[in-house]
Amino acid sequence: IGGGWSDGACVSDANVEQAIGSVPATVAGIIAIIASIRRMAPEAGVVVLGLPPRGERHGKGWSMKYSHLQPSVYTAAIDEVNRRVEEFVVGLSGDATTTAAGGDAREERTRLHVAAGVGSGTVAFAPCTSQWLEPDGVGHVRLDKTLMSDALHPTEKGLAVLAGCIKE
């Protein structure tokens, strides 16, 4: 985090495999990062991007094969993390009445307000998920290979999609 508006913090989905079994811990980690940013820069605007869909990889080394078909083994966990984080972010404005992060969101939201002094900065959630998907022509949905050629990492065109989500 730096001084300019374009500076930011980036959290990847590198631990999505662990998130499958630990959605509450993943959500709590994201909330802790939001709280940390708000403490360091309470006047800053924060855009929390939802975790994008991802495919599966099979094999090792040169025989690695990528599956772009959706839903993948990660879809349910990614969707639940995104739902809970969005619910938390919406709740920062006092509009949400439900809880996230395993039922501790209200308490964490209170800590976030107290720790951050709230300030004038806003926190927004941008799901940024449907942009990655396309019909496969036979009634299914898959990740767009031009956006995520290895079913995980955004290509240059995929990075432009992420930038578009931030600007919206």
Please state the domain extents for the chain: 16-167
Q: What pTM value is reported for the model?
A: 0.75
pLDDT score at 14: 54
What is the β-pairing status of strands 123-126 and 46-49? parallel
pLDDT over 60 (residue 107):
no
Angle at the Cα of 162 from the Cα atoms of 111 and 128, rounded to 5 degrees? 65
CA-to-CA separations, 138 to 55, 57, 133, 156, in angstroms, rounded: 18, 22, 14, 27
pLDDT tens-place string over residues 82-92? 999 999 998 88
pLDDT in tens, 112-137: 443 333 456 788 899 999 999 999 88
Rounded Cα distance between 78 and 56, Å, is 13
